[in-house]
Structure 1
Amino acid sequence: MAHGQITYVDADPSSNTTLADGSTLQDETHYSSTLNNADGLWNLRSFANESTVFGSNDSGAEDCPRLRTTVTGLEAGTTYNVYVYFWGATGANWRLRAGLENLAGELDGYNSAHTTTSSFATSSYLTDNAGGSDLNPGPLTTATDSDPAIENGGYFSGSVETAEGNRSLYQVLLGQVTSTDGTLSVYVDDLANQSSVNRTWFDGVGYQAVSEPSLTYLDADPELNTTLADGTEMNLTASPSNPEDYDSDASSATLPSNWKLRTGFANDSTVLAAAPAADAPVLRTALSGLTPGAIYEVNAHYWAVDTSQNWRFAAGLRADSLSTGGAQIGGENLAGFDSTLLFINAPVLLSEDNRSLYPTEPWLHAR
């Protein structure tokens, strides 16, 4: 679905950022504006947007207190996409915990680098000072001949610094909030007691008014829109031997490393399936007919058995950095929803026998 510009709000201890319980931040008690020590205080460093960033684990292992950044002046009753922004550096994996609720346990964690050994979700940088990015290729008009790099082409409602030195700004969509009183809050924490390569640099939050739902479902079809990741066309054959080959239910022989087009199931009565032990090639499904300059949320949809099994799936906007996991990757399944309230091209099949359709968490993409 398409939305408007994102409004960036810089985290500031003097105006909008407190301890998680709302208590005022005290200089040299909860943060330090002059020192950069491993002392359990956030380091208010002179980098990034508004020349301030909350740093932790910069000089050694520490555990800084949880923060709350509150946005005011919103329209009561309006639903907003809510984002958090942190920094990552080349050759390191900087991290952040963040959420929309002050949970008793740990907040969800986010990495700046892809890793298969961490339970933290991998984030994507907005752009770099070489221009363009994998998350939003093309439309960001960041000044590419400057350091720091500034995005001022309309992605945000104002100018936002997105790269500085060997560092890039990372964006996480935390979810949606319907403001009841014209405010919303984001809770942020560090990953406690880490080395400097896993430090936290928290910069600010963002919000974006949500338009009326306008999801469009596109069925993956190897004859129309789905190829290998490099664009190689897929080939239907009874005897698969190459990565681009796939067979169908009519074939008796199936190689475990190839895709199978199952018929009589799911939307449009077709679904691309891989065997449990398969290492099927990465596919690419291309969307066309989008509005130039518009920002879209993009989801992948996949099927999973509701109980006793863990069907697994990997997807993303970058072929070399796919989010992986079982049904939990997308959270709640769509069984029980009315597809006419979700998709403009409804009806869309959301459940079938003991299987349900799951959406991945949305990725942000601009055209």
Structure 2
Amino acid sequence: MANDILEGSPRIGIPRQTVLADGLTTAVEGTLAEFLSGQTAALDDLDPALGRFARTTRDLVLAGGKRLRPTFAYWGWRGVVAAREPVEPVLPALAALELMHTFALVHDDVMDDSATRRGGPTAHRIFAAQHSNAGRRGDPDRFGTTSAILVGDLCLVWADQLLARAAVSTATLFAVRACYDRMRIEAVAGQYLDVLGETEPGAWSVDRALLVARHKTASYTVQRPLQFGLALAGPAEADVAAVDEAYNRYGIAVGEAFQLRDDLLGVYGDPVLTGKPAGDDLLTGKPTTLLMLAHQLASPAQRAELALNPAGAVIPADGSGGLNSPAGLARRAEVIAETGAVARVEALIQQRVAEGIEALAGAPIHDDAREALTSLAASASHRRA
């Protein structure tokens, strides 16, 4: 069912030479590994337990991922700088976005009580297991949750420290920080709206769900990283205002498309590819755009199958199963598809990708950046993980 629905959707040091686009991920991860090595050693010197805490945090940061935020920031920067401008001075700033991303993921997993991320256990599950294996006193789950919150906090501090290492002028760094701070505030705001939506789904709407997508995901995944990269470039020959507007339009559109794809993957994705179980949004009744559209398009009979009781469990039409059972989840996913909501979300994704690409058409940026961002618009929104 899941594959059928999605089938058609379309310790390394900082490098010393100019990094080409295809080597960006390696360069970012090398920068992260070098920085985290020093930070871990410093905490290990204070106390061995802190060293173990830091190494677990390091491993979470380096555990893979698409590195999309540094990539969008890189092309936002590359779009206006000279062709052979070396990337090494700004690599710390690009890599800092991954530390911020880890902060967001770890806290998000705590709020959602998710079991897996990137194919492995989430931070709170890792620390709960460490607690149990060590035979410590107290509740392992509470220890895991508390430790994971601290992991996220530490990553946010580390992000600030790494960003400060960018070899740019003070004026440029202040401009970058302003964009970075706005990005963080919008991510927190979007996350709060996401949590609030689960508590009052009846008051939500498609427009409200898209607003959450814009702030929770589009802002800090695409829109602000592009503008962050533009700020990193400092004074440029390009019409900065025009570039900023193009990046803004592209970022909102493609960022929303990215979240809409996440909504689909959260219900129909293959856990082997996504690294996390499908159905978490159905378990909580999270009012995503997909689910809001399903309720809007559903017939009375379909709406009854999608209905939640006050305790948050599906009311099965035949009195059997339930939301928490595999059969209940599978049936709910089928009903959502039958309403036409999946097709509608696919259309919204296509529309937003087209809007994003159109925003770049006349933008005064280098052609290689335009081509790369055009490709990223498609790959970020038509992915299987």
Decide: shared fold, TM above 0.5: no
Q: From the two aligned structures, give the one with the greater helix fraction.
A: 2
TM-score interval w.r.t. the shorter chain? Answer: under 0.3
TM norm structure 2: 0.24
